[in-house]
Amino acid sequence: MATLNVLFAVCLGYVALLFAVAFAADRVAMRGRSTWLRSPLIYTLSLSIYCTAWTFYGAVGYAVRSGLEFVTIYLGPTLVMVGWWWGLRKLVRIGRSQRVTSIADLISSRYGKSNTLAICVTLLAVIGVTPYIALQLQSITLSFSIFAEADTDSAFNPDASVVWVATGLAIFAILFGTRNLDANERHHGVVTAIALEAVVKLVALLAVGVFVVWGLSGGVAGVMERIDASDIGLWQVDRSRWAAITFLAAAAFVCLPRMFQVMVVENDDERHLRTAAWAFPLYLLLMSLFVVPIAAVGLEMMPTGSNPDLFVLTVPLASGRDGLAMLSFIGGFSSATSMVIVAAMALSTMVSNHVVMPIWLSYRGSGAAQSGDVRKVILLARRVSIGAVMALGCVYYQLSGGGSALASIGLIAFVGIAQILPALVGGLFWRGATRMGALAGLSLGFAVWVWAMLLPGLGGGILSAPVMAHGPFGILWLRPQALFGIAGLDPIVHAVVWSFLLNTIAFVAVSLLTFPNPVERLQGAQFVNVFEHSAGPRGWTGSVAQTEDLMVMTQRILGAEDARALFRREAELQGGRGLLPDPTPEFLERLERQLAGSVGAATAHAMVGQIVGGSSVSVQDLLAVADESAQMLEYSSRLEAQSAELSRTARKLQEANEKLTQISAQKDSFLSQVSHELRTPMTSIRAFSEILRDADTLNPEEKRRYANIIHDEALRLTRLLNDLLDLSVLESGQVSLNMRHGTLGDLLDHAVSAALAGYERPLRVVRNRADETLHLYSDLDRLSQVFINLIANAQKYCDATAPELTISVHLSGGVLVVDFIDNGSGIPVRAQELVFEKFARVSVEKAGGAGLGLAICREIMMRLGGDVTYLQGAGGGAFRVTLPVAREMAAQ
Amino acid sequence: MSNRHVLLIEDEPNIIEAIRFLLTREGWKVEAHSNGADAVEVVRHLRPDLVILDMMLPGKSGMDILRELRAIADLANLPVLMLTARGQMRDRDMAEKAGVSRFMTKPFSNAEVVTAVRDLVAQASRP
């Protein structure tokens, strides 16, 4: 008889072996000589943590109770591996490209790095996995107690053993699961140890199977007879249960945190999936090969009432094969420990990254980069989490009383965990899936699971019999096992159908109804199209992050060495000379992923966000950015407009300035001219008045002559002043026109006589009176003033020996044209416009005028709506007066 | 006295008459020329003891005539009394730069002109 002490010794020895293997594997991996560690075989074997103590021991019990239905547990994963290989590949690719640390991280990352979702999934995982861990602990103590029963010498305390086992596993998980932080470096030690355990449990189960078939039943034929003779209802197939449980197993295979850990997080090379796709189903086949024979033989051999869940152990024991029993025990122990270790690691990663770190970060505020060693905090959080998960398992074990069938707990946990499936698959293949949809689906599925499965399944009267029978508060359609009034279904099928149906409907419906935020959409595209762009840009856009701050933060998470190496590598990639790279979006992207490997996507995003500014890119942030850039655009276009306006204004100002300068020069010139024109007559007046005053010797003739000069110059001054005033009034526009009726002929008669009066020099005026019958309505005085001026000019300046002025009149399109052309030499071309300027005098000879006459004429004609211009090519001096006349007048 | 010969370059007949009267009475021989264009030639030909030069002349401005006179070697020290009706300070500066002997603004006092002519000729005849 094997004593319990020997069992303990073997157990400790086996654990020591696991530690040694894990340690060695870690060493090898660290030295980089780890090619065999990264073989697809190790990967495939590590997947075998799917086969827990529940599968190792429980499958036989399952077969005893439900016949071949236990096959569904193996069928589900097999179908996934064979039929959904491509889906897993996508999952692994995403997991690697996004540096996903856990299933919660994956879901959170997919749905806009939402920590709410991460927390939900973490909670679900903890609630779903804790019973599972308890189950493993129970299996270990149960198997211990089997040996204890055989060994009457010892006083075995199952409760104490659970604590010891849990403590040992926690230490293992902490030692090998939290040595380093970057999940990318992977836990080679743990994975190798698990692979070893996978071999051990397979060998143990096969050994027991071989013993049962060939040792006890005398071969395949014998065992087949025994099976036929047993009570096992092999072919009592409940199709709905088969379908439901196969689906559940498949879903759990993908969604279980520990499966995700080994399949995605610990995956070294997605090509390993190729091998696993056939090797893992083969492993499962081998694991299930002897389940029915052991069940049949156990039923036959063991006394009625013995626990069929332990036939794997009790049959060899009962046959006196202590060695085989010991091997079987180690196999079961392996199954339980490997599952507990990986589950604890996976859960602790989720808890520390999605619960502890966010709380710590918000507690520490924005000082994440500046204070404390984040690395230490994370590691501590993970270690504490592992301890907590183990403790939770122990507590659950104590509470559940260690009884009831193992398989039912396993199935309940499966249904709970599988609630993640819709969000997961939807996230991988449907870009329209949103965070709100995922939250809604998860919550509803979770609620249905708790109500319809977890609470009733826990037993112990948590739900009272009346509630079970009539629903809460008598609401029949809320009966836990007959939701919506559909009774009569198998409880598992019922729970699976309703939870998944409502979960999926809520997920799809809410996804359709809600709008994904920008990060969600980016991540959605990244996930769904992972094969098109595994390293595409996402998240951070142009920022002014302080690289030093990022460096400090990264050092605290990855350690100084790795952080420096990372930053140096990035700086080289950017082609920079320094050690620090520029905070380009690409660099921030990679850095975030690197950090995500240690602290999870949401936390990494938050940490980088704290430094980069804007702790997360929410819709509001992006909208704000968009708003800002829109404002900037608007502002810049406004600036552009302003600058165009400014340059226009500047040009106008320059023009105005030039004009002013010109006007100022004109004014100076005008004042100078006025001064000259005033001072000249005044000089004569003063000189002669002084002569008259001072000289006593003047004769009367001289006196009269000088007095006449004074008189003429005084008149000249008066004329000049009159002209200046006239011009100033005309120019200022304050002139009021005195409109009168008259005929052109009369006007010209008056002008000619007025102009020629007082001049002795003869000027012949030639007119055609027939043309001058035109009736006018205008300021006739002003018009006459113009005519007089032009005729007087001819009188003064025409240099012909027999001066002659021709005045011709004609109408041209409603405009009266009067030309004054003399037979002199005319005005030189360069001076033709100049004559209309003030004080312009062309001729050398003085003619008494101040040079304002033509300027006044032009001002007058402008006021009357016409003009006076010099007429070129007319022979002599020639001026043309134009004046618009009304049509009816022109007709006369 | 040989050195009592004044050339008056002025286009305003009444002013010519007034100055001629004033200076003749004091014993000066006055000749008048009213066109700016050939004024320099007239000066070179007549070789007066003093020139009275109006600023605004037809043909050539008094300022230009002054500059041309000063450019002629044996006319560099010829006394030139300049008269102007424009009354701008800028003109005075320009005239002084050009080498004017005296600058007077119209309307002038008769006594002032007579005194100026006497003084300028006396200064110029000193060794």
B56 touches chain A (CB under 8 A): yes
Which residue of A683, A688, A844 is in closest CB contact with B106? Answer: A683
Interface mutation target, options A674, A683, A702, chain B, most CBs of B under 10 Å: A683
pLDDT at residue A177 above 60?
yes
Q: Is the pLDDT of residue A518 over 70?
A: no
pLDDT of residue A616: 43
Query: Which amino acid does the sequence have at A616?
Result: S
DSSP string for A715-751: HHHHHHHHHHHHHHHHHHT------EEEEHHHHHHHH
For the segment A626-656, what is each residue's pLDDT rounded down to a tens digit? 444 555 566 677 777 878 888 888 888 888 8
Contacts A676 to B, Cβ<8 Å: 56, 85-86
Q: Where are the domains of chain A?
A: 8-355, 420-534, 535-617, 624-731, 738-891
**In this structure, are residues A91 and A264 in contact, taking their beta carbons and an 8 Å threshold?**
yes
Residue A669 has pLDDT above 80, yes or no: no
CB contact under 8 A, A709 and B17: yes
pLDDT for A483 equals 66
Q: Tell me if B18 and A684 make a contact (CB, 8 A cut-off).
A: yes
* Average pLDDT rounded to a whole number, residues A663-670: 79
Distance CA B84, CA B120 (A): 18
Average pLDDT for A784-798: 88
Q: How far is B39 from chain A (nearest CA, A)?
A: 14
- The answer on pLDDT for A154 being more than 60 is no
A883 bridge partner residues: A816
Q: What percent of chain A has pLDDT over 90?
A: 3
Q: Which pLDDT score is estimated for B18?
A: 92
- Region of A320 please: left (phi>0), alpha (psi -120 to 50) or beta: left
Please report residues of B whose CB lies closer than 8 A to that of A691: 18, 21-22, 110
Judged by average pLDDT, the poorest of A207-216, A635-644, A680-689, A819-828 is: A635-644
Q: Which residue has the higher pLDDT, A472 or A718?
A: A718
From the list A679, A694, A844, the residue facing B59 with the nearest CB is: A844
DSSP conformational letter for A231: S
Residue B78 is encoded by which pair of tokens? 């010829």
Kindly report the CATH number that applies to the domain delimited by A624-731: 1.10.287.130
**pLDDT digit string, tens, across residues A837-860:** 777 665 544 445 667 888 889 889
- pLDDT (average), residues A481-508: 78
CB of B61 within 8 Å of any CB in chain A?
Answer: no
| Chain pair A-B, CB pairs under 8 angstroms | 66
* Phi-psi domain of A777 (left: phi exceeds 0; alpha: psi -120 through 50; beta: other): beta
Spatial contact of A688 and B20, defined as CB atoms under 8 Å apart: no
Q: Which of A142, A546, A457 is nearest to A313 (CA)?
A: A142
Residue A592: per-residue pLDDT: 77
B107 touches chain A (CB under 8 A): yes
Q: Given this model, what pLDDT does residue A486 score? A: 67
The CA-CA-CA angle for residues B36, B40, B44, to 5°, reads 150
Contact A844 B110 (CB under 8 A): no
- Provide the pLDDT confidence category of residue A576 given band limits of 50, 70 and 90: low
- At B80 the pLDDT is 94
**Higher-confidence position of A530 and A754:** A754
| CA atoms of B5 and B27, how far apart (whole Å) | 9
Q: What is the least distance, in Å, from the CA of B19 to any CA of chain A? A: 8
What pLDDT is stored for residue A617 in this prediction? 46
Q: How many CB atoms lie within 10 A of CB A620?
A: 12
pLDDT band at residue A831 using 50, 70 and 90 as cut-offs: confident
CB atoms within 10 A of CB A56: 28
How far does B127 lie from chain A, in Å, by closest CA?
Answer: 34
CATH class of A738-891: alpha beta
A823 vs chain B: nearest CA distance in angstroms?
A: 24
Into how many domains does chain B fold? 1
Helix (H) or strand (E) holding A392: helix A374-400
- The residue-averaged pLDDT of A573-600 equals 71
Q: How far apart are the first and last CA of chain B?
A: 17
> Count of CB atoms within 10 A of residue A699's CB?
8
Query: What pLDDT sits at residue A542?
Result: 40
Tell me which chain B residue has its CA closest to the CA of residue A709: B14
Query: Which residue reads 């039923």 in tokens?
Result: A299
Contact A675 B85 (CB under 8 A): yes
Least confident of A80-84, A558-562, A824-828, B119-123: A558-562
Span A675-722, pLDDT tens digits: 888 888 899 999 999 999 887 888 889 889 999 999 988 988 888 888
Q: Is the dihedral of CA A99, A104, A108, A114 positive or negative?
A: negative
Q: List, in sequence order, every beta strand (DSSP E) within A144-263.
A: none
Mean pLDDT, residues A719-743:
84
Cα dihedral A301→A306→A309→A311 (10° resolution)? -30
DSSP states along A92-128? HHHHHHTT--SHHHHHHHHTTT-HHHHHHHHHHHHHH
pLDDT band at A614; cut points 50, 70, 90: very low
List C-alpha distances in Å: A488 to A459, A479, A482, A494, B43. 20, 12, 7, 9, 144
Tell me whether A693 touches chain B (CB under 8 Å).
Answer: no
Provide the terminal-to-terminal Cα distance of chain A, rounded to the nearest Å.
152
Query: Which structure tokens are listed for A717?
Result: 């001054």
Query: Residue B65 belongs to what domain range?
Result: 5-125
Strand partners, A764: A804
| Residue B26's CATH number | 3.40.50.2300
Greatest mean pLDDT among A68-77, A352-361, A526-535, A744-753 lies in A744-753
Distance to chain A for B85, nearest Cα, Å: 5
Cis status of the peptide bond prior to B48, with omega within 30 of 0: no
Residue A648's φ and ψ, nearest 5 degrees, are -65, -45
Inter-axis angle of helices A4-31 and A322-351, to 10 degrees? Answer: 50
In this predicted structure, the answer to whether residue A552 has a pLDDT above a threshold of 80 is: no
Name the β-bridge partners of B80.
B51
**Do A292 and A232 contact (CB within 8 A), yes or no?**
yes
Q: Which of B8, B10, B14 to mutate to test the interface with A (most CBs of A within 10 A)?
A: B14
Nearest by CB to B106, from A680, A690, A712: name it.
A680
A295-343 confidence digits (pLDDT tens): 888 877 777 777 777 788 888 888 877 788 888 888 888 888 888 888 8
- Give the pLDDT of residue A184: 52
Contact A516, A524 (CB under 8 A): yes
Structure tokens at A122: 């973490």
Interchain contact, A844 vs B106, CB within 8 Å: no
Q: What is the pLDDT of residue A1?
A: 44
The C-alpha angle A791, A793, A799, rounded to 5 degrees, equals 110
Regions of chain B short of the pLDDT cut 50: 1
d(CA B31, CA B8): 6
Instruction: Output the CA angle A548-A551-A555, nearest 5 degrees.
Output: 145
For residue A740, list its beta bridge partners: A778
CA-to-CA distance for A262 and A343, rounded, in angstroms? 10
Q: A687: distance to nearest CA of chain B, Å? A: 6
Mean pLDDT of chain A: 78
Model pLDDT, residue A468: 63
Contact B58, B9 (CB under 8 A): no
Q: Which residue of B has its CA nearest to A682?
A: B107
The minimum CA-CA distance between B74 and chain A, rounded to whole Å, is 30
- Cα distance between residue A233 and residue A235, in whole Å: 6
Percentage of the residues of chain A whose pLDDT score is greater than 70:
79
pLDDT at A535 over 60: no
ipTM for the predicted complex comes to: 0.93
Greatest pairwise CA separation for chain B in angstroms: 37
Q: Do B107 and A679 touch (CB under 8 A)?
A: yes
Flag if A676 and B86 touch (Cβ within 8 Å): yes
pLDDT of A524 strictly over 80:
no
Q: pLDDT at position A627, please?
A: 47
| Number of residues that this document lists for chain B | 127
The confidence score (pLDDT) of residue A405 equals 47
Kindly state whether B24 is in contact with chain A, defined as any CB-CB distance less than 8 angstroms.
Answer: no
